[in-house]
Amino acid sequence: MRIPKVLAIHDISCAGRDSLTVILPVLAACGIEAIPLPTAVLSNHLAFSHVSSLDFTPYMQSFMDAWDRNGISFDGIYSGYLASPEQVYVVKEAIKRYGVRIPVMIDPAMADHGRFYSGQNTEMVEHMRHLIRRAHVIKPNYTEACFLAGVSCDKNVIPDEGRIDYLLDYLGQSTERVIITSIPRGHDTYCNISLDKRTGEKEIVSFPYIPFTTYGTGDIFSSIVMAGTLKNIPLAQTMRIATAFLQKAIEATAKAGTSPLEGILFENMLPELTETMERAVAGNE
């Protein structure tokens, strides 16, 4: 059986279970081969006290040139955290080269909890607004959705249905499938919401807040969504699978008592993810 290939455009944080160090094994567990195009190589993710890093921007085009000469092609493109507008242009170039007839997923990883990540700003928001127009699926969290839509984002204010519908409608103008994650819904409750404009299906999945901060969660979630897209699993079903897997992994990590800097303890759960995805594929054939 042929294994689909995804071009994964992300940084690689060598320590801390983040970015490509979780994306590659999660996609593999879902039956997808990930071909990494690094945006940067870091000793560890940015929450550690000390970081050594290499900006990979000067090499990204030459990697794609080599793939072209070697006849390498892809079945999907998935991009995440981008460190600069220049890297946005590289992603656009990758979509131009490979993404004409294949699914493109953009995780506009810029912000969370009402504020930008280190190195991100309003300039990147504008570039992301243009980039998501080239995607088939986008997966912003609530903060990123607000920033993209140009509305205020107070992490202490519970958004009403009108606000959520506005975010979905706004983002739906750029792409046909949208998932917004980590929307506050009340005391210790959050939800993820999906909209598939092709079918009109809208789905909401609520989950309890776990008071445990860690890293790599968005990368794991988005990797499952990318895999579901390639395997023709409905968007709402894929979101439910990703939500349940991540919730269980976060609970296990919090119970284990490891340092939050080490990220999600997901490795032992990958066989379960494989079985879940296989059942979903069989049920949709």
d(CA 194, CA 78): 18
In this predicted structure, the answer to whether residue 99 has a pLDDT above a threshold of 90 is no
pLDDT at 2 over 80: yes
Does the structure show a pLDDT above 80 at 285?
A: no
d(Cα 52, Cα 54) in Å, to the nearest integer?
Answer: 7
252 pLDDT higher than 80: yes
- Please tell me the distance from the alpha carbon of residue 75 to that of residue 98, in angstroms, as a whole number: 8
Residue spans of alpha helices (H) in 102-234: 122-131, 142-149, 161-172, 217-230
Gyration radius of the chain over CA positions: 18
Percentage of residues of the chain with pLDDT beyond 70 = 100
* Mean pLDDT for the stretch of residues 30-49: 95
**pLDDT (tens digit per residue) in 108-118:** 999 998 999 88
- Round to whole Å and give the CA distance between 209 and 230: 30
Tokens of 69: 């000469």
Question: At a CB cut-off of 8 Å and minimum separation 6, what does 165 contact?
Answer: none
The whole-number pLDDT of residue 123 equals: 94
| pLDDT reported for residue 209 | 87
Residue type, position 260, single letter: P
Say yes or no to pLDDT of 155 above 80: no
In 10 A of CB 14, how many CB atoms?
Answer: 14
pTM to 2 decimal places: 0.96
Give Cα separations from 20 to 37, 170, 262 (angstroms): 9, 30, 14
Distance CA 144, CA 17 (A): 22
Distance (Å) of CA 114 to CA 146, 245, 252: 9, 25, 27
Q: Residue range 77-84: average pLDDT?
A: 94
- Give the residues across from 195 on adjacent strands: 178, 202
Q: Which residues pair with 33 in a beta bridge?
A: 5
Give pLDDT, residue 156: 79
**Looking at the predicted structure, is the pLDDT value of residue 214 above 90?**
no
Q: What is the mean pLDDT of the chain?
A: 94
Q: Which two tokens stand for residue 205?
A: 């999945």
Residue range 177-200: mean pLDDT, rounded? 93
Which is it for strands 53-55 and 115-116: parallel, antiparallel or unpaired? unpaired
- Exposed, middle or buried, 80 (CB in 10 Å: 0-12/13-18/19+)? buried
